[in-house]
Structures are given as C-alpha cells and as structure tokens.
Structure 1
Amino acid sequence: MKTIFLFFLFLIPFISFSQNQTISLDGTTHNTSGQYCGYWFYDSGGSGANYGNNQDYWMTLQGNAAPNTHVRISFANFDIAADDTLYIYDGPSTASPLLSKHNNNYNPLNNGNTMVQASLSNASGSLTVRLKTNGSNTGAGWNATILCGQMCQSIVPQIDAVNTSPTPHVENGFTYIDICQGETITFAALANASVFPENDILYHQDASNCVFHWVFGDGNTADGQTVTHYYAIVGGYNVFLTITDNHGCVSTQQLYIRVRMASEHIVTINPPSQLCTGDSLYISATSDPSSIAVTTSNTSLTQTEQYNTVTYIPDGPNCPQQCYGTPVTFTNFPPGATIQSASDISEICINMEHSFAGDLSFRIICPNGQSVVLDSYDNSGGSYLGQANEQDCGACTANPPGCEQGTGWTYCWSEIYPTQGLLNNLDGGTSPIPATDQIAHTNYIQPENPLTSLVG
C-alpha cells in the first residue's frame, strides 16, 4: 500500500505600506530643533486628541541641504481656540521675526490659505513654531505636513477691481461684492509687481506660470486669473484666492472677498398721494418669498406762502403809524400743525427797496402772539435795500402821487443757510446790501433773536 502525503504550501503575500513619520509639538520636543522634511506635524494632542491648557511649547523646523533649504508648513486641518495662539517665526528661534500668528479668530489657516513658508530673506530657511495656550478652552489643534523646498519669492494676491464685475467696494476694511439673485460674478486677479514684489530675484513670476485658485464658499472652486461664478442660493459667501507659482511657492497672505446676494429685487412700488415740491416721503419696504413691495406716504409738508401786495413805508420816524404789516396765511398744513423746532422754518423773506436800512426794524408775529425780532431799530447805517428811489415824496404820506418806486431786492432771514451777518451790521457796509440768492442759498441774513421763540 502506498501512502501519499500531500503538502499544501500557502503563500501569503505581505505588502508594505510606507507611511509618513510624525512629530508633535509637546513637552518632549519643546525647545529643540531638527530636520523633519516629509513628516506629519501635530500639536501636543497628536492625531486624535486636543492640545492641553497652560502650554507654552516651541520647536524649530530645519530645512534640508541645498537646494531644498527652506521649510514650508502645509495645514490640512486647523482648530486653535480664539484665546490661544500659534506663533510662527521666520528663523531658527523665537527671537526671529514673527512671520504670522493664528487662531480661529485671527487669520485662521483654512479656505485655501493653508501654507506658511520661510521667507526669501530668511537665510537659515528654518521656521520656529510656538503654541501658547491659557487655562480654559482647547481645540483639536492642527494636522500639517512639513515640506522642504527652494527659497520662495513673495506672492500677494490682489483683486483686479477694474475687470471684476460687479465692481467690488470696501466697507470697514473688507472687500464686498453685492449682487441680486440670478446675477453672475466675474472675478479677476491682478498679476503685476504688487502681486509679485520679489519677482526676478531668484526666478520669474507672472500670470502664465502661476495657478490662480478660487474658493467660492459654496462648495465650488475654479482656476484661472479671471473666472466667472453663479450662486444658486441667496445668502452670503466668503471667497478666497490663492496663487501658486512654478516653484510650488504659495501665497501666504490671504485675499478675502465677501459676496452678498439679495433675493428678488423690487417688483412693486405703491405710488404716494399727490406731492408738491419740497414734500418729504416715508418709504416702507415689505417682502415675501417672491417680491418686495415699497409703500410711500407723506409725513411732512414744505409750504411757501407770500403776501404779494406792495406796502408803502413812509420816510420818517415820527409818523402816526409806526408798524406796517404784511400778513401771510398758510392753509395747506394739517389742522393743529405747529412749529416743532426752529429748523421747521427754512427762511423768512421780503422783497423791498429802501434808501436807509437803519431806519427799519423787522419782527415776525404768529397768530397766537409769539414773535421774534429779526432786526431791531438802531437809526444808523445808510446802506440801501435794493435799488432805492431817493425821491422825497413827503413824510408820513402813503404812496403819494408822482412818487416812483425803486426796484426791490429779495432779502431772507434764516438759521439753516449760511448768512452774511445781522442786518444792523450790514446797514453800515456795502450799499446796496447784497440780495439773498435763494437758488444757491447764499447771502442770507442772521436773525437778531433765535427763531426758537416761534416753537409751538
């Protein structure tokens, strides 16, 4: 009998996966330095935990031999609490120039702005990283890659306001683009010396050898110096631009634009009642998901009334009649309306000619007896009002036969418009006294007493 032994050989293949080495900023690496090019870089919590409270750790990351002498840190995730700070120094110690500082409220490393790199002026090529935390609140920290490469020239992304449409504008230091629903935005970036301030020191940079990467804030991105984008949903969006040159150097300064998109524009305007020149309107806007309605209503009236009959004022201070009135009646204000403030009175005007302004005084009197002296009698000052006729027609005679009138000029008192002074001062100066220009609002006369006495 033959016995046959069967031997089965099972071959199990082993595949070796190469994995990046890791380094963390913690108590074991504090105040040390080393070459960690190609390492994954974490905070003291490592890849799975938060960093701790009351920490102040720093370490120096060194570059490789030439030409890859300069360190770059590329952040994949970043979460540093607002009251903690990550400092990055441009050199081999914390005494080196501060390159940047970061937390969730101050220049967070996200939205396409994920790279920090040693500058062209940094001869060592090293970066020193320091995390300083307080006694409360922590975060997940960071997950980054340490890269070593050639020296980089600076890249400073800037918006091309001329070729961006709609045109961006600045509010409180931030750039905004406002659009209506359905509009498409054209984003354009500059590629001049302000974007590449160190151009041609080591190599050449221009739009043709750089990648312009836009992050639109709605989950979409695009590459190009000029791109267009359409937002499907009404809201606000943060747009970021990063530029990478042909040496792999990335802009470390962030270009941030805020897009504000309004819903459907105004489609209905409810007209106001009949308006007159100078009337004011109150505008109220209401909206529903499909439209905005604007309703207008009158809330104030500006009325002008006049007394248009010539009043003759005799030449003489001793006439029996000492006061001459020109009553003006306003009929267009609502019943019970009163003067609420002196600014309710825009101007009080006369059109007259007189050969000796110092002979006159002027007072405005309300129906309830309240009054204001606009110009008091001083019996001095010979300046004319208007083009006066100096003919002596007889004292105390009202409009005597054969006495021709001169040409009246308009003079207005106002506390709103610029004045040329009190009439009692003007009557001793230029003659005739300059007339008021009611169109250009110049040469008004200052009331001698405040118009607040007419309130009520």
Structure 2
Amino acid sequence: MSKFSTFLISILGLISLNAQNPEFRYPCQMINAKIDSSQMSVIPGSNSIVYLCQSELVVFAADGSGVDVFPQNDINYHQDSLNVLFIWNFDDGTIDTNRVQTHTYAVSGIYEVQLYLVDSNNCSSDTCRIIVCVSASPMVEMNFDNLYICSSDTFFISIGSDSTNNIVINPHDTVSDGFVFSVDTALFIPDGPSCPPGYIDIPIPVNTGSGAALIGPTSIEGVCIEIEHSWAGDLSFSLTCPDGHSVWLDYGDHGGDSFLGIPNESDNSPVCLSSANPPGTGFLYCWSENYPSTGTLNDLDDGASPVPFTDTVINYNYLYPDQFFIGFYNAGCHINGNWILRITDDYGQDNGYIFKAQMKLNGGNLIGFSHITDTTITGPGAMQLPSGQWIISGVAAGTYFYRLYLTDAYGCTSIYPFPLTVSNNNIGTTINGNDSPDALSIENYNCDYHAGAQYLWNVTHGIIASGQGTDSVQVLWQYGSIGYLSVVESIGGCSDSDTIEILIQGINDFTNQNCFSVFPNPTENMIYINAMKDLSDAEILHTSGQSTGIKVGNLLAGEKLGISVLALSPGVYFIRAMTEYGPMKISFVKQ
C-alpha cells in the first residue's frame, strides 16, 4: 500500500470516527505547524529557503510537542504526536504522513514544501511552507583541440563561461530563456505636493509559469518606463517585489531641471485633474546592470534636456539603478506575482505622464542553479596557478584520467572526468608501402594510426591522389626516376616524421614536360593543357590505352586549352599527343 493510500485511509478513519460519534466532537483547539530544527538535516534560512543538491537525502522533521505546537492543549481534549497526522506535501507528487520524513529530489528546480497537521478531533493547523531550491548540475563543454601533450610540455587549462576557455561552464536553465512583462497605460503623474498621496503605483503582473520560483542574483535584465515629465529631479522611482522588498531605481535629488521625454508644459488648473493637463511625448528609459550605462538618473538630470532615451535595439543609454537588483535575491523574493513600480513626486510645480512600464527577466538566471564557487582538477601533475588557471606538467608518457570538480554556492559538487594522453617526443612514425612501384601506378602507403594525430604528406615525382591529412594515402607515381614520400605526424605539439626513397620503374615520360604540361592535377572538373611545343591529335585515354571519347585535337606552342572531365569516373587517365619527338603522354588523376 502506498503512503498516499495510507494517508487517505487515516483521514477517512478520523472523519468516520467523528461521524459515528458526533457527541464526542469537541471544539477545535489551535494547532501550529512548525518544523523541528533539531532534527532537520538542513535548516531553512530566515526567508524559509532550503538549498539542496539533486538526489541529496534530506531529513524533514515536524515539531510534535509543546506549547508552540499545541497552545490550547487539554482545554477540550488531549493533543500529542501520537494522535496527530503530520502531512508533508513535497510538491513533486509525493505526500507523506510521518513526523520525521526523509526525502530526495531527483529533478532540479524550485519546490514549495507544505506541512500541516490534523488531530484526532479532525481539526487542522495552519500551513508551514518551506521553499526548496534544488541545484542543477552545470553543463560542461571540453574545448580542447586535442587531449594529447608531449611529456616535455605544460598543458594549460582555463575554465570559464565563454567559448575562449578550454573548459566552458554553462549553468543549467530551469526557466525559459527570457520574459518581458509590460503594462501599457496613459497614467497622469500629478504634481505631488499639491495632489496627495504624492505617488502613483503601477502593478506589473509577472507569471513565468515556474510556480514558486525565486528571483536569481542577476535575473532582472532591465526595468523600463515610457514617460514624459518636466524637471526629472522631482521624481523618485522604486520597484517592489511580490514579497514586499523594495529597491530604489532612482532616489530624486530635487536638483535636476532636465526633462524626461517632451512634456506638455501648457498645464492648467486644477493641477490634479488629468483632463486639464494633456500629455506630451514619452521617451523610453531603462535601468539595467547588464547593458552599457550612461550613469544614474541623478547623474543625468542636470545635463542634456531631454535626458537621452534608452535604445533597446543596440542596447545603449541605459540608466544605472541607485540600488542593486541583487537586493531582491538576498531578500528571497518570488518571481511570480505583482511587482509594483512606484513613482513619487515630492517637489512642487511639475507633472507628467507614464505610458508604459516593463520588466525584462533573464530566464537563465532565475534560481534553479547556483553559481560556481570553486573549481578543482585532480590527476597526475595537475596544479592551479595563482591566476586561477590550471596546468598539467611533469607527467611521464601514458594515458591518464583527470577529474574536474565544480562546487556551487549550495555546496553541491559535480564531477566531470576527462582523459589525457601524454606522448613521448619520439612518436615513432614509420611509412609502410611499396618502394619500387611502376610509373603511372597508384600505390597505397600508411603509417601507424594515433588518435588525435595530424598527418601532412609530401611527394616528389608523384601526386597524392587521396588521403591527405590521414594516416593512409594513395600516390600516383608519374615517371621513372628516384622519388620521395614523406610524412610529418603531430600530436599535441609533439611531432615526428619519416621519409622513404622510391625507385619508380618503367617508362620515363619526363620529356613530356618539355612538350606540354597539365594542371590542376588531381582535378575534379577541368583539366588544362599548356602546350610548350606544337601538339596534334591530342586525346584522353584510359590507362589501358582505350579512348575515353574525349578528343582534344591540335594545339600550337604557347596555347592553353581547358577540357571538362566531369563525365569521367574517378581514376587515372593519360593525355596523349603527337609531338616533333613522337607520341608523348602525361597521366592525371580524376577525383
């Protein structure tokens, strides 16, 4: 039987008992749902928030005795932990009824744990609420060019949130990428001292769909208003979260005569009546800690008039708030609910209008992860420099497994292993293959494969037909002579090379180059003939001597001619032409 079924049967049993014995139903005595801090494994802070790691086993404990829980005990009946149900709703689909209950959260996010009590008289307590923030493991991307180093090298590792680092840390988002909440209005801002109460409040309803989520340390990207008002120094602006904590966006200094927007200065009487004081033209002004700022409003309200508006397209001319937005995070403010923008006018003679109020939230910074407070790399030769950068050095050849430990402000540690192969400076590169091929033949050559290695091949009196950059290549040998094939193999800064001498067997068509040449070779689409001597009856042949059907014809010395070879299958072909020395031919590779 599930715990939830047991809970339902227990409740139904209490109700049934009282229904059968209505004469024993006493007036309810007060019950207070409270936690027992002495038995809780994690104690909530003053803002009733608990910070946990994924899959962390936590002990939740309810206080089950004493006057704090049962302040009216034994007035009408007796209450104690033996005849009271302690009902825990963990906000993840789990309900338990033990006074002391262990629980784990498998999924990161924000949860609202509710505790309430039901006694044997079927009387209920108030609800005790605890906000549980379960940290998410950061997403980590290893941006190593390769994981090989030479035994004589030092491997430098930088860790950060941008792509320039070797190890890139991206906190896990538990809310969508971002939200913008706007209120469109055309609200009159009367002259404060003449028109009590001297301020107006604009509610900004926020609903991110994330339940009881809390604001994060950098969640607020910007707070914007579209406003017109003469004498900006008359005004103060504050923002209050749904939990009642306020931050000053601007505390009026009464000293600035610059305008906000283009006010209508044809003010009439009565001064408190909007119909007698028509609106001017509003400008957009935004406070932000994330975008380039030109200063606080108090810095600007005695300068250019009107105060330059904020350009949210190129993110320019933002205002800096008088108090940091992190104050909402420190106070444990919830995201969802009505945020109140208050505009206070406590200096005489001027009025204006507000046309829009807006909040932009950065979804990736709403609480669902905690910022990283410590990074550690363990493994042979790993050491952190005073700059914070890590190095690995002084390690013998071999493959090692290192571990990156990331610890966040919740105290949660995530582990990310990565391998590192340390190579000897002498890799041992050796070329294998036929060292006496026939002219115009294609031969395979290779060297030992090493993961992560780069290969650069070079050939004399031949052509790399395929495989450049890999450990295995095909070479078309051009003519009978001494040729050379070499490769440079590089791994993590280590390099080694090998060269072999090739004795090319068969006909020597070196003199072809005194009569004509071809380029590019190899080719995919076009082959060009450069005639140094007069040529006649030129054509393209298979290596067997059979015609491909492509007739080139005659060329005079100094002429160049391009021929399409798109119709040819990949392979080796000849261009043959009659010259003053007799028939000559040159091979080429069609890729």
**TM-score, normalising length: structure 1:** 0.34
- Choose between structure 1 and 2: higher helix proportion: 2
- Choose between structure 1 and 2: higher strand proportion: 2
